[in-house]
Amino acid sequence: MTTPESFNTEPQHTPSAPSGGLEGKRSVRVGTMVWGAILVAIAVITVAVAAGTAVDLELAFIIGLVGAGITLIAGSIAAGRRRVQRQ
């Protein structure tokens, strides 16, 4: 009786890392940085509101979206340039 591939417990062969010296280097994903910045901004606004500061939430939301969008676009352009330089 044969077993399906998903239940196969034999170790799978994985290709070795390229010899370009990138074995241990991994960059932080842009999306992770953007979500982290959004969470920090929400925390800062929450603390400011709790401290009694008047915050225009609509304006803060718009500024946050614009900043996140610009960061995502800039990050994808930078990642594309790095990818082209490696090839």
Q: Give pLDDT tens digits for 18-74.
A: 555 555 566 778 888 888 888 999 999 999 999 999 989 899 999 989 998 998 898
- Say what the pLDDT of residue 59 is: 93
- Residue that has been written with the tokens 């799978």 in this structure: 12
The better pLDDT of the pair 1, 81 is held by 81
pTM: 0.56
- Say what the pLDDT of residue 66 is: 93
3-state secondary structure of 9: coil
In sequence order, what are the residues at sequence separation of 6 or more whose Cβ sits closer than 8 angstroms to the Cβ of residue 37? 67, 68, 71
- Say what the pLDDT of residue 19 is: 54
User: At 30, which helix (H) or strand (E)?
Assistant: helix 30-50
